[in-house]
Structures are given as structure tokens and as C-alpha cells.
Amino acid sequence: MCGSSSAKWRSFDVRILRVPTDFRVVEQFDESMLTRSGEYLVYSVSTKGMTTGEAADRLAQAAGVDPEAVASAAQKPKEGVAGQVFSILGGEPLSLRGGEFVARRLGVSDRAVEPGDITGNAYEIVVRDLRGDDMRRLRHNLAQVKQAGLPNYFDDQRFGCLRHGQGYILRDVLRGRYEQALKSALAAPSPYGAEPVERYKAQIREQWGDWATLVGVSNGRRGKSAFEYLREHEGDFEGALRFGLSSRERTMHLFAYQSHLFNRALAAKVRAVAEGENLGWLPCDEGSLPVWRELPASESMRWAESELILPGPGMEENEEAMRLYGPVFEAEGVSMEAFCALDLPGFRPISETRPLLMQPEYLRAAPAQDDEHYPRSKKMRVRFTLPRGQYATLALKRLLMPTELGAKRLCMWVSRHPLVWPTDDGTPQYFERRPREERSRSGGERGPGGGRPREYQGGGREGGSRGGGGRRPWGRERRDDRKPPRDRRPQGKPRSPWEGRD
């Protein structure tokens, strides 16, 4: 079951990313970067179950160029179906068609594609394992989000270091704990790691300090350069971080910690306008995220016009940033001045501004359908568009949030990762995973009963009813599965990328 510091409760499950086609994202491309002539070929590429890096490698191989010649505007996760834009410097013209990889030429340009060439992303997400109250809750929250939006936090994708057990490497660096930072980066156990990788990391932990042995163990594997450096420079873990982690990996850890600081500052600002029954909470690996349920129109407009700078050089000139970040850095036990003064490759923060309000456009939910993967449950397709840099999973969490205080807890499965809703006071809740060897013997994390986790059986919705007594699973709740009101979009407003596909 799920761990809790409060009274016992039962959890209701909903799921996204059950299969790759449950999550579709298409980049909205600004074609003004295309030119009549140029040495860069620009492609629209559709992939399924493939990272952006893997797609770039496949394009490079097909075009006969080095991987460095392929550029993309943004990174997309491996899970799901993605439509992205790539540019290739030189090489053979391509037209690739396959079951999971399609590349179509858009034109040419005199430069590589950049993040600014993408104005946003259009999403189509299937939410599964829904019952009557889940659909009522989703439609209720959808109306609130249309009216008031939600705080523009960074979401779980930004915090892979937490999901994989590493923690905030940069926080250890700022506290002078260089050895701990290196060990966590190279050897922290992950519940999601492949078994060969986890065995290798266990070897590193067992042999830690015996650098000569680790050089041999790590031959051709991640960490060898760090162990070679420590063999020659005993105790210089700060130097080992420079040589043992790539600049790209250090940058990912910088972004994670910088995003954590931003989220905590934004959370404090949200708590100032939302309290009591108007205050809700969203789950996140980084910590519980407070949100409002409703906002007056004037307050919503003020939030729509507001931005907050990410912590970094120059933030001392921003009065609101200093007021919001001061308590955050104090709670973290690190110096704001030391963070802003970081000057290591990959560890150089940049003070960009970020809007404080997320306002999904073209937001709608299609009528529910029978869920082929979970008997006696329903599925719904949710569609919306977001500006670049905002998180669709955050919008999904807000749409599924409990609508009243004291509600039974909800667990949202994102692929195989469970996220449990916080308590009414924001206390984080966690799913208690069984040991790897126990899961292997019993066939994995999920047990019988419509694919629900074994830990949840016997409580909540198991058996196809909510209260026992032989009640039919679809009685009066079916009223919540009504077709949404027709779109009353003002005449002349641009059409959604998903228009007409219900």
C-alpha cells in the first residue's frame, strides 16, 4: 500500500502511458525559419517509443552524416508518440517511412533548428482505469482550469535525479560534500534501473575507495575516467567531478536543482493567495505542490502577466526574487551567493524568466469509452496545447486532483511510476515498493484484479464496485460520461491541432 504519516486510507488508481499510443505530443513549428536556399535540410519526424537522441542517431545514419550534424529543438521522452522537427547539415535527402519512425522533409534553412523555432506542443493523452467519480472530478476540474489556469511549476521530468535515487548532486557540491556528490551520481541505486546497470553500481559501492580495482571493473563503462583520476589524485573528489561526469550530465543536475528552488519559491507565492478549501495539492517527486482551485478574474489576470526569474547571476537586482528565494536558500542550507557564483563547466546557472501561470489552450475531454485494458473501467482522451517549456503531466495532475477536502487518496500511475496525492495539509505520500527479488517471484509490481497493483487489492474499487452489496459498477455514475458542451470558441480564433478528431 502507500505510506502515510496519517490515518490509514484506501487509494483510487488512474493511469496514463499504459501503452505508447496513450501519449501523443506534436511540436508546433514556426516555419518562418525555412528559407529558399540553405545547407540545412529540415524534417518533420514522427517516432514511437524512441528518445530524441535515438531519433537523431537514426537520422544521422540514414543521411550519412555525423550525429553532431543533426539538431532538434527540444527533448522528448522515450514513452509515447512524438512529432518533432529536426535539421541536418548536409547529407542525403531523406524520406523514411516505417512503423515507428517516419521522416518527412519540410524544406531547407540557412541555420540549424533551435528551441525558439517551437512555439508550443499539442497533446493528446489517454487517461485510463476511470470510474464514475473520476470522470466527474476530471470535468469539474477542467472547468476550473479553463477559468483560472494553474501555477507553472516544473514537473517530474525535470527531476530524474530524484526518481533514480541520486538526490540533488549540486546541493552536495554547494555544501562541500564532493565525495557524496560523486558517489551518488555514479552509484546510487535506482528502482527503475536495468539489472546489469544496478549490479555494476552495487560493485562500485562495494569497492568504493579501491580506485585501482574500480578502474578495472569499469573498463569501457561509465565512471572510469573518475576512478582513473582518483587513482592518481587520491582524495580530490572535486576534480573527479570535473573529469568523471560529462558537461551534459552536470547541466542536467544543475537544471534539476535550479528547478527545485524555483518550485519552492513559487509554492510560497501560491500559498499567499490560496488557503482553506481553495487550496489543493499535487504530487511531485520534488515535493508537494500547492495550487488554487479558483481565482477571481482580476487575480488570474495578474498572475497571467507575472514572471519569476530562475536563481542565478543578476537575481540580486530583482526585489521579488530576493524576497521569495531568500527563505528557500536558507531552508536548503546553501548560500545564494555561492550558487550564483558557480563557474564550472555544466554548473553555470543562467537567470532566465519563467511565466508563473500555465493556461492550457483548446482544453477539452472527449466522451469516455470502454477501457480495453481495465475491465469495468473507462478511458478518456484529454487534449490541449501548451507553450514550450511547460509540462503536460502537471496539467493532468490538476485535472485529476480531488475536488474536496477529506477525499480518498488518489494514485496516478505514469507508466510504471506511481504518484500518490498528498494529504490535505500537503504531507507527501509514497508508494511502498516491494523488493526487486519479491517482485520477480510474484510477476512484477502489478497483481491480479484488472491489472491493479497487488498492494491495492482488497480496498478501494476492487471487485468492480465502490461499496459492495452487489451494486452494479455502472449505475447512476454513467451520467458523468456525458458528451462535453460544444465548443463555443469565438469566431476567427485559430483551430486546435486536434480539431475535428473526436
What span, in angstroms and rounded, lies between the C-alpha atoms of 94 and 341? 46
Mean pLDDT of 83-87: 95
State residue 247's pLDDT score: 86
Pick the range with the lowest mean pLDDT from 85-89, 131-135, 322-326.
131-135
State residue 436's pLDDT score: 44
Contact between 12 and 461 under an 8 Å Cβ cutoff? The reply is yes
What are the cell numbers at 136?
A: 466527474
What are 31-41's pLDDT values in tens digits? 999 999 999 99
How large is the C-alpha radius of gyration of the chain? 24
Pick the range with the lowest mean pLDDT from 43-52, 97-106, 477-486.
477-486
Mean pLDDT of 2-28: 73
What are the cell numbers at 265?
A: 519559491
Contact between 47 and 120 under an 8 Å Cβ cutoff? The reply is no
What are the cell numbers at 330?
A: 536558507
| pLDDT bucket at 295, cuts 50 / 70 / 90 | very high
| pLDDT bucket at 191, cuts 50 / 70 / 90 | confident
Kindly state the helix (H) or strand (E) to which residue 134 belongs, with its residue range. helix 132-148
What span, in angstroms and rounded, lies between the C-alpha atoms of 269 and 263? 10
Mean residue pLDDT of the chain comes to 84
State residue 485's pLDDT score: 45
Contact between 120 and 29 under an 8 Å Cβ cutoff? The reply is no
What are the cell numbers at 19?
A: 501503452
SS3 per-residue string spanning 316-338: HHCHHHHHHHHHHHHHHCCCHHH
What are 45-73's pLDDT values in tens digits? 999 988 898 999 999 999 999 989 999 98
DSSP assignment, residue 296?
A: -
DSSP assignment, residue 479?
A: G
Kindly state the helix (H) or strand (E) to which residue 130 belongs, with its residue range. strand 118-130
| pLDDT bucket at 253, cuts 50 / 70 / 90 | very high
State residue 455's pLDDT score: 32
By residue count, the chain amounts to 502
What are 424-470's pLDDT values in tens digits? 999 998 876 544 444 443 334 443 333 333 333 333 333 333 333 33
Residue 239 has pLDDT above 50, yes or no: yes
Residue 122 has pLDDT above 50, yes or no: yes
State residue 27's pLDDT score: 95
In the chain, the domains with their CATH numbers are 13-20+122-147+360-419+433-481 (no CATH), 36-109 (3.30.70.3160), 166-245 (1.10.1510)
Most distant CA atoms of the chain, gap in Å? 73
State residue 442's pLDDT score: 37
State residue 355's pLDDT score: 97
What span, in angstroms and rounded, lies between the C-alpha atoms of 250 and 157? 16
